[in-house]
Amino acid sequence: MKIAILGGTGSIGEGFALRWAAKHEILVCSREIDKAVNAAGEYTGMLLNKGVVCCGITGCNNEAAIEDSDVVVLSVPYQGVISLLKKLAPFFKNQIVISLVVPMKKNKLFEYTPPKQGSAALEIQEILSKSVKVVSAYHNVSAKKLANLELALDYDVVVCGDDNEAKKTVMELTREIKSLRPLDGGGLASSYMIESLTPFLINLAIRNGLSDLGVKFV
């Protein structure tokens, strides 16, 4: 499977590239092609140093990667993702798009600020073609821990989407990451509940002197 990671040079993008590269071809995406190529080389070197043989990590611009991919991961901040997707919309066909996006702002603490559609995931689905299958997931996974291959991530990942096959694919990708457990969260309309957990967890960490919190349902 070819997985394009928009925002692939960032910390959460790095984690997904490292975790999935053993089984999938990874396209690290950026508006700056040199930055993407350099990051892809770094990730490949990190895996080789750990004795991991990868299927291939390539640095690409956003447009080329989207056209050539089966799955597109949106690891881009909300403040930039909508305008970016409006420009890139013509390059999408029938890919699965995984949204990690959380609309939030910081005052004293963080506040969930959903768009009029009710969630970032629903707004993204509205922008893209109906043939594109948007699935929301991974909002509450620590970027720092995801990029540390020595760690088993004992988290649950709630996966929301309206296309059952697309949701199944994302849940299978989740199981490939050691100790992550995917849970079916229902349709895309339920995404707001999971997106809003992100600012809650950040605020919880701030108030209690903690860091890199995740979610586990027991």
pLDDT at site 11: 86
Query: Residues of the chain with pLDDT > 70: what percent?
Result: 100
Q: What is the mean pLDDT of the chain?
A: 96
Neighbours of 16 (CB within 10 A): 27
Give pLDDT tens digits for 82-113: 999 999 999 999 999 999 999 999 988 999 99
Give pLDDT tens digits for 176-191: 998 999 999 999 999 9
pLDDT at site 53: 87
Domain boundaries, the chain: 2-208
pLDDT at site 197: 97
Q: What is the pTM of this model?
A: 0.96
Domain 2-208 = CATH 3.40.50.720:
yes
Among 157, 13, 16, which residue's Cα sits nearest to residue 76?
13
Give pLDDT tens digits for 17-26: 999 999 999 9
pLDDT at site 31: 85
Three-state DSSP state, 9: coil
Give pLDDT tens digits for 16-74: 999 999 999 999 998 889 999 999 999 999 999 999 988 899 999 999 999 999 999 99
Among 187, 73, 200, which residue's Cα sits nearest to residue 122?
187
What is the bridge-based pairing of β-strands 133-136 and 110-112? unpaired
